[in-house]
Amino acid sequence: MKRYAFKMQLKEGCAAEYRKRHDEIWPEIKELLKSSGICDYSIFLEESSNTLFAVQKQSGELSSQDMGSYYLIEKWWAYMADIMVVNPDNSPVISDLDEVFYLE
């Protein structure tokens, strides 16, 4: 199973709203991610820089960031666009992270 990590950027003053929206994440989003082979997905926040760090496991070829062609993901990205730094299609601007160490 592949592990994938990336960074995203939260807009200033939006940490509480980001947490709230993820506390209330749509069940359909969870199901879509799981059915696409994505699991063990965590997002961490470094509040001093508003940097979000995400890591997930993938059994398939797609990461959550490759799913923009799914209507539900497009809708979620549009919902989150007001509190995150995003691309013109509302997908989060991401920076892939290279794994340099792993302890199993």
Tens of pLDDT along the chain (104 residues) come to: 899 999 999 999 999 999 999 999 999 999 999 999 999 999 999 999 999 999 999 998 888 988 989 999 999 999 999 999 999 999 999 999 999 999 98
Indicate the domain borders of the chain: 2-97
**Closest residue by Cα to residue 65 from 83, 49, 86:** 86
CA angle at 45 for the pair 44 and 47, rounded to the nearest 5°: 160
Residues β-bridged to residue 45 = 52
Active site positions, annotated? 22
The domain made up of 2-97 is a member of CATH 3.40.50.720: no
Q: What is the pTM of this model?
A: 0.91
Cβ neighbors of 28 (< 8 A, separation 6 or more) are: 72
